[in-house]
């Protein structure tokens, strides 16, 4: 950081580092605001945040490719990404993913190819988890949720 006279000026690279550092420090709070993560509790969220990394993405970077198994789980912290499928040589837009959206997990959880391609737009910063970290931290939670959903479905069917 350089100081000139009474004005404090920050070099753009230092400003970016400070921005990412501030984002990292607020990650636990941010994750608690996402409905899926809200139910996990602060201790689990802290473990998840310790297992991941920040990723600044380049414009046009393909993060997940249709028909390939994802190798990372992504949560968008800043910016946006386009989600689309390819059909008969044409790109078919599916969604624009924004802050708080996540992707790659279904492919990791089921070990199946992704159904869509996700491409970064300008200013995209994501929190990522490797396949191993995802499996260790989130798969047990997803299995519990599936079991609860199955039990609820059986309960509903018995009521009919």
CA 126, CA 131: separation in Å to the nearest integer?
Answer: 15
Domain boundaries, the chain: 9-159
**CATH code for the part of the protein at 9-159:** 2.60.120.10
Task: Tell me the three state secondary structure of residue 86.
Answer: strand
Name the pTM for this structure: 0.73
pLDDT at 106: 85
State whether residue 4 is helix, strand or coil.
strand
How far is residue 17's CA from residue 44's CA, in Å, rounded to a whole number?
27
To the nearest 10°, the Cα dihedral for 145, 146, 149, 154?
Answer: -140
Over the stretch 9-44, which tens digit does the pLDDT of each residue have? 666 656 555 565 666 678 888 888 887 788 788 888
Mean pLDDT, the chain, rounded, equals 82
Report the distance separating Cα 108 and Cα 29, nearest Å.
Answer: 25
pLDDT at residue 41, rounded to an integer: 82
């Amino acid at each position: 950081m350089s100081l000139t006279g009474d004005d404090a000026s920050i070099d753009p690279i230092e400003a970016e580092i400070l921005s990412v550092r501030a984002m990292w420090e607020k990650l636990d709070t941010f994750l608690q605001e996402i409905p899926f993560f809200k139910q996990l509790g602060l201790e689990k969220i802290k473990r998840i945040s310790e297992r991941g990394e920040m990723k600044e993405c380049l414009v046009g970077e393909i993060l997940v490719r249709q028909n390939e198994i994802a190798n990372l789980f992504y949560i968008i912290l800043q910016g946006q990404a386009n989600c689309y499928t390819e059909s008969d040589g044409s790109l078919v837009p599916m969604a624009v993913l924004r802050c708080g959206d996540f992707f790659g997990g279904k492919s990791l959880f089921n070990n199946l190819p992704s159904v869509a391609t996700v491409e970064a737009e300008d200013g995209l910063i994501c929190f990522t988890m490797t396949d191993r970290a995802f499996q260790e931290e989130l798969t047990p939670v997803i299995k519990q949720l599936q079991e609860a959903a199955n039990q609820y479905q059986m309960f509903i069917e018995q009521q009919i």
